[in-house]
Amino acid sequence: MSQNSIIHSVIFSLKYENGSAEEQRFLEDGKAILSSIPTVKDFRVLRQVSPKNTYDFGFSMVFANEADYEAYNVHPLHVDFVANRWQKEVTQFLEIDYNEL
């Protein structure tokens, strides 16, 4: 990974019961849809385990550079996922973007 690379992470909670089919479907759909965007690398679905916050899951991905990250942000699959799934099913989230030093 280069210094221009961006690690994009979002931690979040869903409105569904823990372990429910709806929860699993959201996580699976998120991975399938978002990882299919060409500029997304190393997509991961993560379960948050720290008792220090109230979030449940994380999506993490890597972009080679700012242009790839911006292409992801405006990609129709990402825009549609945010509008039709994320905004309706996520109850709280925190987004963090990193560059390696």
pLDDT tens digits along 38-77: 999 999 999 999 999 999 999 999 999 999 999 999 999 9
Mean pLDDT of the chain: 96
Find the mean pLDDT for residues 88-96.
98
What is the share, in percent, of the chain residues with pLDDT greater than 70? 100
Query: pTM for the full model?
Result: 0.93
Rounded CA separation 12/93 (Å): 4
Binning pLDDT at 50, 70 and 90, where does residue 27 land? Answer: very high
> Structure tokens of 36?
């299919």
> Of 69, 47, 43, 72, which Cα lies nearest the Cα of 58?
47
